[in-house]
């Protein structure tokens, strides 16, 4: 049979795990019908019989016998003399089924047909991959480093699917070598052309949440609920947890004896410092807990403007703010309140907002970002430490310190 060379290509696809037999047959029939339309103008009168398991293909064209010289539609009709070459006893008005050999389509059509077949198979595979990973969005996935580029790491999973881990989705301390196994969450899946683009993230808060589910049985079983996760990737995170079972200490269960349970999560995240706190609907208590490890003396809340003022002993202020202002920033994100920190007995202190005539508002805002809202809160800091914690130049900070000192000297 002339079609054997082409049908051999079935074997490239029929064992593919992503394609079942029925789908493959549908794709094959569609491809062949397109080829017949191009060759004959119509495919309605063709029967296609396919057996991909054996590599068999038969194409039959059905035409009606008409008298010689009366053929108006060559694809639909056949002359009596031509029909009798197939079977000598045909009569006008009868139907003739004639097998069409693939070689009759022409060499160029056969090459195009094969290319179309390959394209349809790949398109089907890509759609399956897209749907598979669409269902995995927000879930932890592991893949192997295949190629390291400047702006992304290209990963391959066990099925050879390509997954992209962009630079901005990596933890700052991440360092990968080819062949390393990498864990992250599937953050997004898009079809670019016909090819799925799968993006992994290690910086998303949900990655930390899913690590808790994997590593802590009570979270996996639903005995402990994660209410909210906020992160500065690779630096610090805060996780609010709750339990509807009074017998369970959610914080203790998550952290474990001497941090045994949370240790593997911390290590996975490049030694990210993780504070686990008990969630509560009592807002004052929740904000107090969110500022841990600092001990808060009292809290004043402005619910309308979503602001809170925390009063602390002087030695607790730096803990509340944290290195680089990380602690107070995350506490604000966790609670949804903008938190200002004040020292006990700081009645003689002056708000920075009082200095707008001498200090530009954007500079005041830079100090506020790291929890420094008063004159004394800045004057008590080391200048080099202020340079590290803010985006301000050393000369600018020295000038601000000079202005604030003059206020108290007066």
93-111 pLDDT, tens per residue?
889 888 887 766 766 766 7
Burial class of residue 175, CB neighbours in 10 A (0-12, 13-18, 19+)? exposed
pLDDT for 2 equals 45
Q: How many CB atoms lie within 10 A of CB 196?
A: 22
Q: Exposed, middle or buried: residue 350 (CB in 10 Å: 0-12, 13-18, 19+)?
A: middle
- Looking at the DSSP bridge assignments, the partners of residue 152 are 166
Which H helix or E strand runs over 239? Answer: strand 236-243
Q: Is 70 exposed, middle or buried (0-12, 13-18, 19+ CB in 10 A)?
A: exposed
324: β partners: none
pLDDT beneath 70, residues of the chain: 1-23, 52-56, 103-104, 106-107, 109-110, 112-113, 345-348, 408-410
The pLDDT value recorded for residue 5 is 47
Distance of CA 32 to the CA centre of its chain: 38
In this structure, what token pair is assigned to residue 270?
């490049």
Residue 123's pLDDT is 73
Query: Which 8-state DSSP code applies to residue 223?
Result: S
Both tokens assigned to 258: 């001497």
Q: What is the pLDDT of residue 354?
A: 78
Distance CA 331, CA 322 (A): 11
Count of beta carbons in the 10 Å neighbourhood of residue 307:
14
**CB-side exposure of 364: number of CA atoms within 13 Å?**
17
Q: Read off the tokens for 124.
A: 């089907």
Tokens read off for 183: 């864990």
Q: Where are the domains of the chain?
A: 4-131, 140-201, 348-410
4-131 against 140-201: fold identical: no
Measured between alpha carbons, how far is 403 from 124 in angstroms, rounded to an integer? 69
Tell me the DSSP string of 310-323. EEE-HHHHHHHH-G
pTM for this entry: 0.63
Output the pLDDT for position 13.
Answer: 53
Question: H or E stretch including 200?
Answer: strand 195-201
Peptide bond preceding 263: is omega within 30 degrees of 0, i.e. cis?
Answer: no
* Class of the CATH domain delimited by 4-131: alpha beta
List the CATH code of the domain at 140-201.
2.40.50.140
What is the torsion angle, in degrees rounded to the nearest 10, for the CA atoms of residue 12, residue 16, residue 21 and residue 23? -100
Report d(CA 199, CA 268) in Å as an integer. 19
Q: What is the pLDDT of residue 107?
A: 66
Q: Residue 91 contacts by C-beta under 8 Å, 6 or more apart in sequence?
A: 65, 80
What tokens does 330 get? Answer: 């995350």
Q: Which residues contact 138 (CB under 8 A, 6 or more apart)?
A: 185, 186, 187, 206, 210
């Amino acid at each position: 049979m002339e079609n054997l060379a082409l049908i051999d290509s079935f074997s490239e696809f029929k064992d593919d795990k992503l394609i079942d037999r029925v789908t493959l047959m549908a794709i094959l029939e569609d491809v062949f019908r397109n080829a017949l339309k191009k060759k004959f103008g119509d495919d309605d009168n063709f029967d296609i019989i396919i057996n991909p398991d054996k590599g068999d293909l038969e194409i039959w064209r059905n035409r009606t016998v008409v008298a010689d010289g009366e053929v108006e539609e060559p694809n639909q009709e056949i002359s009596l003399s031509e029909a009798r070459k197939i079977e000598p006893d045909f009569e006008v008005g009868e139907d003739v089924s004639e097998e069409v050999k693939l070689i009759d389509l022409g060499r160029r059509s056969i090459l195009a047909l094969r290319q179309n077949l390959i394209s349809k198979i790949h398109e089907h595979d890509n759609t399956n991959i897209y749907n598979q990973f669409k269902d995995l969005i927000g879930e932890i996935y592991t893949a192997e480093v295949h190629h390291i580029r400047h702006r992304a790491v290209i990963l391959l999973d066990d099925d050879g699917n390509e997954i992209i881990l962009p630079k901005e989705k990596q933890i700052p301390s991440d360092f990968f070598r080819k062949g390393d196994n990498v864990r992250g969450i599937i953050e997004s899946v898009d079809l670019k052309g016909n090819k799925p683009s799968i993006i992994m993230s290690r910086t998303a808060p949900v990655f930390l949440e899913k690590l808790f589910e994997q590593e802590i049985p009570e979270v996996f079983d639903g005995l402990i609920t994660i209410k909210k996760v906020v992160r500065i990737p690779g630096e610090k995170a805060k996780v609010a947890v709750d339990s509807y079972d009074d017998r369970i200490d959610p914080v203790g269960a998550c952290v474990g004896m001497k941090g045994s349970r949370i240790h593997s999560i911390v290590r996975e995240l490049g030694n990210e410092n993780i504070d686990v706190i008990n969630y509560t609907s009592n807002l004052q208590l929740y904000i107090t807990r969110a500022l841990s490890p600092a001990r808060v003396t009292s809290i004043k809340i402005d619910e309308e403007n979503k602001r809170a003022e925390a009063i602390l002993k002087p030695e607790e202020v730096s803990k509340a703010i944290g290195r680089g202002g990380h602690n107070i920033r995350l506490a604000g994100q966790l609670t949804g309140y903008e938190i200002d920190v004040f020292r006990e007995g700081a009645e003689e202190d002056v708000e920075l907002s009082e200095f707008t005539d001498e200090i530009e508002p954007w500079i005041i805002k830079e100090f506020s970002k790291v929890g420094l809202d008063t004159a004394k809160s800045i004057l008590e800091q080391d200048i080099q430490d202020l340079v590290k914690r803010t985006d301000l130049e050393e000369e600018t900070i020295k000038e601000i310190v000079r202005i604030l000192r003059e206020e108290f000297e007066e």
